[in-house]
Structures are given as C-alpha cells and as structure tokens.
Structure 1
Amino acid sequence: MHIDTERCVRAVQSKDARFDGWFFTAVVTTGIYCRPSCPVVPPKPENMRFHPSAAACQQAGFRACKRCRPDTSPGSPEWNQRADLVARAMRLIADGVVDREGVPGLAARLGYSTRQIERQLLAELGAGPLALARAQRAQAARLLIETTPLPMADIAFAAGFASIRTFNDTVHEVFALAPTDLRARAPRSSPGNATGALTLRLPFRAPLNPDNLFGHLAATAVPGVEEWRDGAYRRTLRLPYGHGIVALTPQPDHIACRLTLSDLRDLTVAISRCRRMLDLDADPVAIDDQLRTDPLLAPLVDKAPGRRVPRTVDEAEFAVRAVLGQQVSTAAARTHAARLVIAHGEQIDDPEGGLTHLFPAPEALASLDPESLAMPRTRRTTFTTLIRQLADGDVRLGPDSDWPQTRARLLELPGFGPWTVDVIAMRALGDPDAFLPTDLGIRRAAQELGLPSTPAALTARAAAWRPWRAYAVQYLWATDSHPINFLPV
C-alpha cells in the first residue's frame, strides 16, 4: 500500500487508525516516523515519505515518534492472510527464528537461499531479515524497560541483543532516548512487577467483537492448560526458552495482557503467538465489507461486526485436539485432552490461578500406549499416526507452513477428511479462506438463513466471500446458542 502515495496522504490527513501497521510515514523535516493516526498536525504532503515497515524507516535514518509510538501499531494484515514466501518469512521473524537461528536458519526453514530471502524482503518491505529482527528487538527492549524494574544489562540480553553496547546504540537510534531516559518517562508504577508479571496492551484494528473469540477459547478450554478466570482467558505457553502463563482480557480499545515468563527471552515470541491466537492483526473493515456484499450475510455482519477467527498458540497442539474432537461433543473432547495432559504434560506452578500443566508436545505423546485412549480403534490409528508424523517432522505445522502442501499432506493421513483438514487450516495454519461446508452447525445456519445447505451448493455460493470464508464461518456459527458464541460471565 505504501506505493499508493495519494491514498497514504489521505489516511494521514484523516488520522485513520485502520491503516496503522499497513504503512509508516517518515517526515523528512523532522527525521521521525509515525503511524497514520498520529495525533500531531499532519505534515505537508511534500515532506512525507511512506515505508512498508518500521525497519525500513529505521534503515532510512528516521526515529520513532515519541507521541504516537509507531512501534506499538498492530501488525500488517498481509502476513496473516498470505501464504507466499514473504508472508511465511515475516511470521517466522515474528516468532523469533532469526534471533535464535540466524538468517541461515530462516532460509533453511523456508527452503530458499539466504540471498533469495534477502532480495524478496527488501523488495516488499524495504528491509532485510536482520533489520526486521532488529526492529523487533528494539520494541521488546522498550517493553521491558518501561514495564519491569530489571537492570539494563538483563534487559539487553532478554531482548536478544548480543552486547550492552549494541542495545544502547539501537535504543538511542530508534527512540532518540537512552534506555535510562525511556524508563524515566514511563509511569512510576506498573501493576504486576512485584510478582514478575508483565502488564501489556495489545492493540487491534476496530471493530473487534470479543464474543465468539473468547467464547470459543473458554468453551473448549482444556482443564489445567486453559481457564476462564475473573474475566480473563488464561493459558500456559510452551516457548523456545521456557514456559509462560498469559491472561488476556478484552477491553474496548485493546486486549489487556498479563504475561509471566520463566525466561524473558521469550517475550516477543509470546506476544506474537497471543496476537496470532486472537487474530489481532486482521483488517475487520475490509473483511466485513466483502461479506456484506452477500445480502443474506449482511444482517449478521451489521449486527455484530468485527468477528475474529479464534486461532492457537501451538499448531501441533491444535491438530492433536482436532483429532480428539472428531465426532464427539465439546465436553468429551475436553475430557480426552485433559487425560492426555495429566498423563503426559509437564507440570508448572501458577500462583494466580488453577493452571497446572503445559499441553504435551508430540515427542512426549509418541510413546503412549494406544490402548490407553478411550476412543474407537480407527480414531486411535488416526491419533497415533498424526503424533508420529508430527514428532518425526514429516508433517510440519507452524508459521512457516505452506498451506496447500500442508493440506495435501494431512489429507494423506488415515482418518483425515475435509472437515478436520479445514478446521486445522483455519485455526492452526491461519488460512483466512478455510471453509467448513460439511460442518453441521454451518449447514444448520445456512438453512435457517436461506443459503444453500448442501456442501457443494454452499461452497459454490461461498465463492463470493473469498478470501474471507473463515470469517464467514464465524458469522454463521454465531447464529447458534452454543457457548462458543458468548463471552463467559
């Protein structure tokens, strides 16, 4: 979008928050870069330069605006609605792969050379993987500086910097303030510091309807791993360097995030995964406008706009749970999952609630006795085959997944039909166009609305909803009185 100068200028002049994260405005007369909705008086158009990423602005010599804090914008919707190389690379960078494995590790996961990755990211984002990861480290440092009492040396290494000097130089270059000055400008008291928890605000593009989003997560919560407590969805997180517990509470203009980590190096990964689970980088205006073109869907959208697709923080975990939920009730699926958690999950402490375990990784489930599973023999075969494929790496579910290839691979497994594959594509892979025409709830809703109710006819009608059919699923599901559609009380 940043190459459409006239459209960008209009967005900046109208302070349109819908475009925050889509592009960044660099002002040549001040040397700063801002989000489109920056509250200051817009600069003259001839003084504006538009960049596709904060990293590109930083590479061009601009510093972040102290007023609008562009580094806290929602992420670009592009990276969660596309499955091409650049989108997959951006999802991996957000998941901390460059910090942990370097650019060669990023390239190896994507199956391309480092030169190809560099070239494509530079062409589309104006910055290479190292610059993009550096911008992410700067934001992590700022969060730790402003929300914890940690010494600066600890913050530097927790944020992923190789040295104190690099940390100091980067923070000063990006924010035009020394780390100690950033801390001095922060509020004097931050709730949660006494217990080691970080209290953050996760921004999103309005509107956001929290009902189905949090309702689904709460209604399907696995005891010990997830819970709804005091108006917040809480769950345990398995992270690269350790584990964490997060509490997410919907607020009118943000999601309140309370995060406790065993290793602070996992901060950016934990935030990225929580944002992905809640689909916070979506562009609800564009999605809803497309769905409103169908006169039978339009009333549903107008009634409760801004529905998101509830996703996951762990793609392999969701695939396992999808198999456990085949042809059984939500309560039965939770029971099956809870048994696995108690038998094979890693125990953790939760001083603030009732969480007890991490969901077991595929490697931990690979040695279980199939006879211990209280399910039909054919589903045991489906379950054990999936676990083996995940543990061996023959099926890869993650930010780097190639959606068509992963779908095809899953369909080859015994017991995997279109419903299971599409629900994994929708909620684990993040495909915004995944569709469930055979789902009983979808067919029932379609019939009530006057839409075709047979899978083939409904799929043909849904072609007009593309590329947002996963969001249409949320609106169709919302016609039911199932608990997944309501914010818990």
Structure 2
Amino acid sequence: MGENGAMTTTTSSQLDAESCYRAVKSRDRRFDGVFYTAVRTTGIYCRPSCPARTPASANVTFHVSAAAAQAAGYRACKRCLPDATPGSPDWDVSASAAGRAMRLIADGVVDREGVDGLARRVGYTSRHLSRILTAELGAGPLALARARRAQTARVLIETTALPHTHVAFAAGFSSVRQFNDTIREVYAASPTQLRGRRTNSRPATGTVSMRLAVRTPFAGRALIDFLAYHLIPGVEVAGPGWYARTLTLPHGPGTVRLDADDTTAAGETAFVTATFALTDLRDTAAAVERARRLVDADCDPLAVGDHFAGDPVIGPLARATPGLRVPGQVDGDEVAVRTVIGQQVSVVGACTVTGRLVAAHGVPVETDIPGLTHLFPDAATLAGVDPEMLPMPRARGRALVGLCAALASGEVALDRGPDRDDVRRRLLELPGIGPWTADYVAMRALAHPDLFLPTDVGVRNALAGLGHDPASVIAGSERWRPWRSYALMHLWNTLMPSATDPDRQES
C-alpha cells in the first residue's frame, strides 16, 4: 500500500504492518480483499473494515490471502465474512504468474485438472508454481483452492435449500467428510449451524442467486448499457438495469442474469445481483468467477479516478461517470471471435452477422429466460467451417477460421493463464489479426487495464466531439498509463447512443 492509501502490488512478505494497521483502525473498505487481519487473541481473521473493536497492534498479523490466514490456523470472522470480498486489483494490474493462477483457481481449474493442470496453463512446473504462490500469497495452490471451495460452500449453504451432500460436490469437495471438516475449521461452525443463520430459503434446484461484491464507485448502468448495445441474438438479452446470457461451463450449459445499478459512494462495497441457472451445480464456482470478470468486479475505481483527476480530457469524463468499468467476458474465445467479426463494421452490423453465426453453428438450449436460445459456438466448431460460407468478406472469414483453429489447438489460449505479451504476440502471428484486434482482445478477454487503440475510429470521433484535436491527444495518451483501458472506455462512453439510435459506428 502506498502512503496515500492507494493500492499497490504486494506480496505476503511485502505487507507493511504499520500501513495495514492504519487501514484497520480507519476501517478502510478499499483494502477489503487486498489483505486480511488475523487476531492472535481470538484466533479469527477479518477484512480490514470489520466493524468489531479494533484489536491491539501487538495482537495482529496481516495476510495477502484468506488461504494464508487459514493455513496459519485462523478462522473466518462470522461478523464481517472476510472471504466475501472483491479480489485483489493487483491480480489484473500486474498480471504476475500468481495473479493469473488465482484467476484460474477461482474458475475451479485445480478441482477439475489438479495442480499439474493449473501449472501447465500458467506455463510453470507444479513445484515452481507452488513456490511462487507460497511466496506471494502465503499459501500453495491446494490451500488457495480449498479456501475458494469453502467460500462457495458457505454461499450455497446460506442461500439455497440444497442438501449438504449436493452442496459439497457443487463446491468442488471430493467427499462429504472433507466438506464437513473444512467448514468446521474455516468457519468454526457446522454446515447445519451455517444454514440456520440464513435469512431466506430457495428451492433445491440448479438456481443459485448471490451478490457479487464490487468496489465503489460503481457505474453499473453504463456497464449494462455497454453490454446491452452489443447483444448477440440468442445468446444475450437485456432490459432496464439488467443483462442476461447463456454460459458454456465445464460440466454443462447455464445462464446468468445480472442486475446492477450505480453506486456513487466511494471506498465502500456495492453488490451486483447474479442469478445463475446451472445444469450441474459443480459449475457454481466457475459461473461466479466468469460473472465477476464480466463486471470487472475487482477493479480499484478510486485509484483509476485519482489518476485521471487532473487530466483535461479524461478528468471531466471520470467525474461525470465515476467507477466506469471495462466489461470483461465469460469466455475468451467468444470475445476473439466477436472482435474479428466486428472489424471495420458497425456494432449493429457485427451483432447481426454474429447472430447468424450463432443460429447456424451454436448449440440450442432450453432456458427460463425468453430470448436465450443458444450457446455461442465453440472454436473447434467454427474452425471446421468453410470460410466461403461465412456471412462476411472472404479475407475476414479466413482470418476467423484461422483464429478458431489456433484457439481449438491451444496454440493461442485466452483463459488468462499465459503471459499477456506472449498471447498478443501469438495473435499477431495469425493472418488477418492486426494490432487493433489483438489489443481489444487483450483488454476484454485478458483484463488488461493498460491498452489504448490509437487507430480506433470511435476514439477519434469521441475526441472530436469533445472539442479536442484527436491527433494531439492520442500522441499524449501515454500519460494515462497504467489505466489506458479505462480512458478508452470513458471516450467510448461518450458515444453510447440512446436506445432508439441504431446508427453509432463502433471502433
């Protein structure tokens, strides 16, 4: 943490106890999820903003992850629920091996593929990755995955009427005994006791509703508007304040509906309501993680806003729409396909063409949400399509099929495991993929916070519309580092049309 309270990249060995304790004394919500406070005298760990009486500094230690606190023998506070916080912004800002691994762990990769599978995706041996995670996050991959399973289990226990056996396997535990032992150890309560605290009951089906924690300020309406303007028929639908789509998950299809509003209060935690309908509840953790990255839940909006405060171009936009997010994705391959289709065409045209592709090659599904009828076609399916038969120019069709072949073979991986620079280089090696496409994919699919598209038509139109000279502003865009992706979104946000304006041209 910086002296002014800004979040900076930290590891377990780099946490400054004095700075952390100041945050705890002030109950600063900005640091929830960045570090955890463990209290020796009570044996519990809390989020920095816990409303309980502040413990004496001599009695506390600080940990970068909930898993590290649990590994040190501490139980989660029942009052502040420290595991139910936004994740660390550092995971996306630095995109270190540890941060990339944490994203995959949250998606359930360790549960599905083991530590070896996680290490393979990140590009290390399992032993070296374990050393990195232990050094930076205070716990190895198994402990980090265990903490994630415990959190998922607690949410299911407290928000559904699922039998505990179903909860255990939905959360990723290999046995009911392991589930019971972990819950008792982490929460100092049995599953039955946790369920007794819930405030409502839901039927024992594949429907799960929960609140996704996001840092504030949060421009929820602008996020929904962006997603709504880029709807693909059959895959996505939206209405005032909500957005829904189909999901392709490891064990089967599903849907998610997100309800979001603006929260202008700074330094607090807001919530996006997410309602999932899952074919297989084992996909709960993966579905939640994908919804969180779609809404850019772990962004540090105060750091972004402070950076733009004095800027003559982005500053007024950031003040007008505080907490604007960079929309993420639920599937990196889908983002890449949609980006290639959208090259040099309007948003409306790209959505129409992509909708035809979905109708022809997507998998039909039955859902309870009107308008959601198909899963987005996977890369392997599109790699086998004759480019001449695609509803687009031949060169773009060949580029699309070539991209999908690279995605299907693993030559290019957009699961946020590999190094971002390596992914960009591999994308640029593909025919028909230029810098604009590679950078847009990196921004949306890999959550890169510092990308700018200097050749983008929308950027130039936005700057001209604001009364600036596009050439001079673009020439000085380096001053927006390390948050250029957010500067880009602020510029695009000025071009967002009303619901009745179909004529906006996208970058």
Q: Does 1:111 align with 2:123?
A: yes
Instruction: For residues 77-129 of structure 1, give each alpha carbon's deviation from its aligned partner in whole angstroms, at most 9, with x where no partner exists.
Output: 11122222111111111111111111111112222111211111111110000
Q: CA deviation at 1:437?
A: 1.1
When the two chains are superposed, the root-mean-square deviation of aligned CA atoms in Å is 1.8
Structure 1: segments with no counterpart, 5+ residues:
none
1:247 counterpart (257, 264, 271): 257
- Which residue in 1 is equivalent to 2:458? 441
Residues 51-450 of structure 1 correspond to what in structure 2 (within 5 A)?
Answer: 51-190=63-202, 193=203, 196-229=206-239, 231-251=241-261, 252=263, 253-449=270-466
Structure 2: segments with no counterpart, 5+ residues:
2-11, 264-269, 502-507
Instruction: Say if 1:211 and 1:485, in contact at 8 Å, map to a contact too.
Output: no
Instruction: For residues 44-94 of structure 1, give each alpha carbon's deviation from its aligned partner in whole angstroms, at most 9, with x where no partner exists.
Output: 122121100000000011100001000101111111222221111111111
Instruction: Say if 2:70 and 2:186, in contact at 8 Å, map to a contact too.
Output: yes
State how far apart, in whole Å, the 1-side matches of 2:468 and 2:126 are.
48
State how far apart, in whole Å, the 2-side matches of 1:479 and 1:364 are.
37
2:477 counterpart (451, 455, 462): 462
Instruction: For residues 316-351 of structure 1, give each alpha carbon's deviation from its aligned partner in whole angstroms, at most 9, with x where no partner exists.
Output: 001000011111111111111111111111111112
State how far apart, in whole Å, the 2-side matches of 1:302 and 1:230 are.
23
Q: Could you tell which deviates more after superposition, 317-326 or 111-120?
A: 111-120
Q: CA deviation at 1:451?
A: 4.8
- Which residue in 1 is equivalent to 2:32? 20
1:35 counterpart (47, 61, 68): 47
With structure 2 as the length reference, what TM-score do the two structures score? 0.92
State how far apart, in whole Å, the 1-side matches of 2:363 and 2:100 are.
30
- Which residue in 2 is equivalent to 1:477? 492
SS in structure 1 at match of 2:424: helix
State how far apart, in whole Å, the 1-side matches of 2:296 and 2:461 are.
26
Instruction: Say if 1:452 and 1:461, in contact at 8 Å, map to a contact too.
Output: no
Percent of matched pairs sharing the same residue: 54
Instruction: Say if 2:226 and 2:496, in contact at 8 Å, map to a contact too.
Output: no
Q: Which amino acid aligns with 2:482?
A: P
State how far apart, in whole Å, the 2-side matches of 1:140 and 1:481 are.
36
Instruction: For residues 290-334 of structure 1, give each alpha carbon's deviation from its aligned partner in whole angstroms, at most 9, with x where no partner exists.
Output: 122323321111111111001110000010000111111111111
Instruction: For residues 368-397 of structure 1, give each alpha carbon's deviation from its aligned partner in whole angstroms, at most 9, with x where no partner exists.
Output: 222221211211121121122112222211
Instruction: Say if 1:320 and 1:387, in contact at 8 Å, map to a contact too.
Output: yes
Instruction: Say if 2:327 and 2:444, in contact at 8 Å, map to a contact too.
Output: yes
Count of residues in Structure 1 that have an aligned counterpart in Structure 2: 482
Q: CA deviation at 1:401?
A: 2.8
With structure 1 as the length reference, what TM-score do the two structures score? 0.95
Instruction: Say if 1:96 and 1:269, in contact at 8 Å, map to a contact too.
Output: yes
Q: Which amino acid aligns with 2:174?
A: A
State how far apart, in whole Å, the 1-side matches of 2:134 and 2:309 are.
36
State how far apart, in whole Å, the 2-side matches of 1:362 and 1:274 are.
21
Residues 45-56 of structure 1 correspond to what in structure 2 (within 5 A)?
Answer: 45-56=57-68
Q: Which amino acid aligns with 1:332?
A: G
Instruction: For residues 129-184 of structure 1, give each alpha carbon's deviation from its aligned partner in whole angstroms, at most 9, with x where no partner exists.
Output: 00000000001111111122121112112211111111111000000000011001
SS in structure 1 at match of 2:375: coil
Q: CA deviation at 1:458?
A: 4.1
State how far apart, in whole Å, the 2-side matches of 1:198 and 1:343 are.
31
SS in structure 1 at match of 2:215: coil
